[in-house]
């Protein structure tokens, strides 16, 4: 009976050691991967440089790894273990690349970026206005109209704090540089989650179990001098894009809006886009940076268009 009792201190020490290790592993924070901004290139150029970064709040990043997630063909990634690498052998279409970073405790984080390869002979244009005057928040607050220009956010939102509000986002881009006879090949709308929202719960850009929303083509003209909740412009469900609900606090979007842009250009009916929750019930939000965001101009709403 004496020997088992003598072994107890050793067993207790082992259990304490394992508990300490477990606690250390559990407390390790996942590193953050930033795979860089989306890019557009045009054939015959078939090479692009990917540049990303990694950070770790409770340690440091020790490894990087680039990989192709999707695309019309397999590409070649030169030096995939570097934060910056060349990708060659691209063909026409849309590619998604992933950057995985690993910290000194073995935890990993991933980020993605998009590369659009446009056909040769096409023209490419990027429209990303600063302080866009045709970016508006159509809002009803406590039963009264509260419509006005966007400040920091472009959003689809329903909330209550003292009074209940419903908020819909309107945004129009200047397409006058594209001929009405142009054939629109691709059009992508980029929206970037607001990391410091001042609406919703003021923490999460995306919140709620029903935060799915639609991006619709506005079909009637509107003026910033007269628009309000009661006379907001009509929009159509034709060619609309439905953005699925998400539990991620922040989620940047790259949305294919080719059909809507083609309609706007070819029919001379550029009245913009409407962002609207599918179910406008309180405590649901999808909040993006507006063109009035001065801290990160690279993440203002953006359109990439190619046409012939």
pLDDT tens, position by position, 62-71: 999 999 999 9
Per-residue confidence (pLDDT) for residue 26, from 0 to 100: 59
What is the average pLDDT across 64-93? 96
For the chain, the domains span 32-120, 127-307
pLDDT in tens, 242-257: 999 999 999 999 999 9
Quick check: 5 pLDDT over 50? no
Quick check: 61 pLDDT over 60? yes
Per-residue confidence (pLDDT) for residue 24, from 0 to 100: 47
Per-residue confidence (pLDDT) for residue 76, from 0 to 100: 97
Alpha carbon 128 to its chain's center: 15
**Count of helices and strands (H, E) across the chain:** 2, 23
Per-residue confidence (pLDDT) for residue 119, from 0 to 100: 83
68 neighbors 74 (Cβ within 8 angstroms): yes
Would you identify the CATH topology of the domain 32-120? Answer: Immunoglobulin-like (2.60.40)
pLDDT in tens, 186-235: 999 999 999 999 999 999 999 999 999 999 999 999 999 899 999 999 99
How far is 268 from 221, CA to CA, in rounded Å?
11
The secondary structure element, H or E, covering residue 123 is strand 123-127
What is the average pLDDT across 107-115? 95
Per-residue confidence (pLDDT) for residue 134, from 0 to 100: 95
Q: pTM above the 0.85 mark?
A: no
Distance of CA 189 to CAs 103, 176, 210, 230, 303, Å? 33, 17, 22, 27, 5
Question: Mean pLDDT, the chain, as a whole number?
Answer: 91
Sorting pLDDT into bands at 50, 70 and 90, what band is 20? low
Sorting pLDDT into bands at 50, 70 and 90, what band is 2? very low
Per-residue confidence (pLDDT) for residue 17, from 0 to 100: 54
Sorting pLDDT into bands at 50, 70 and 90, what band is 23? very low
How far is 291 from 131, CA to CA, in rounded Å?
5
Sorting pLDDT into bands at 50, 70 and 90, what band is 161? confident
Per-residue confidence (pLDDT) for residue 12, from 0 to 100: 56
The secondary structure element, H or E, covering residue 277 is strand 273-277
What is the average pLDDT across 55-80? 96
**CATH number, domain 127-307:** 2.60.120
Closest by alpha carbon to 245, among 216, 286, 211? 211
What is the average pLDDT across 28-50? 93
15-19, 162-166, 261-265: range with lowest mean pLDDT: 15-19
In the numeric block, the tokens 């704090």 are attached to 161
Share of the chain above pLDDT 70, in %: 92
87 neighbors 115 (Cβ within 8 angstroms): yes
Per-residue confidence (pLDDT) for residue 254, from 0 to 100: 95
Token pair recorded at residue 304: 């990439």
What is the average pLDDT across 35-49? 92
Quick check: 120 pLDDT over 50? yes
Q: Where are the alpha helices (DSSP H) in 28-113?
A: none
Token pair recorded at residue 25: 């592993």
Quick check: 55 pLDDT over 60? yes
116 neighbors 39 (Cβ within 8 angstroms): yes
Per-residue confidence (pLDDT) for residue 295, from 0 to 100: 85
Share of the chain above pLDDT 90, in %: 83
């Amino acid at each position: 009976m004496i020997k088992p009792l003598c072994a107890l201190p050793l067993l207790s020490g082992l259990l304490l050691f394992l508990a300490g290790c477990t606690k250390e592993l559990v407390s390790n924070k996942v590193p953050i991967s930033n795979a860089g901004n989306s890019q557009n290139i045009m054939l015959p150029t078939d090479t692009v440089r990917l540049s990303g970064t990694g950070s770790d709040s409770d340690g440091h990043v020790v490894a990087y790894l680039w990989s192709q997630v999707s695309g019309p063909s397999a590409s070649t990634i030169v030096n995939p273990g570097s934060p910056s690498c060349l990708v060659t052998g691209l063909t026409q279409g849309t590619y998604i690349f992933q950057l995985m970073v690993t910290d000194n405790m073995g935890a990993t984080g991933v980020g993605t970026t998009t590369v659009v390869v446009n056909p040769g002979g096409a023209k490419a244009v990027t429209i990303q206005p600063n302080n866009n005057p045709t970016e508006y928040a159509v809002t009803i607050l406590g039963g009264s109209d509260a419509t006005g220009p966007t400040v920091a956010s472009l959003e689809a939102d329903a909330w209550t704090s003292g009074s209940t509000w419903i908020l819909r986002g309107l945004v129009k881009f200047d397409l006058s540089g594209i001929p009405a006879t142009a054939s629109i090949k691709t059009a992508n709308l980029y929206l970037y989650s607001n990391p410091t929202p001042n609406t919703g719960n003021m923490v999460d850009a995306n919140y709620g179990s029903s935060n799915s929303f639609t991006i619709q083509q506005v079909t009637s003209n509107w003026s910033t001098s007269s628009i309000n909740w009661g006379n907001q412009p009509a929009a159509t469900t034709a060619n609309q894009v439905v953005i699925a609900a998400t539990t991620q606090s922040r989620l940047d979007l790259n949305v294919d809006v080719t059909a809507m842009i083609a309609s706007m250009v070819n029919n001379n009916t550029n009245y913009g886009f409407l962002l609207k929750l599918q179910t406008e019930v309180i405590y649901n939000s999808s909040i993006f940076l507006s063109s009035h965001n001065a801290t990160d101009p690279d993440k203002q709403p953006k359109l990439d268009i190619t046409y012939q």
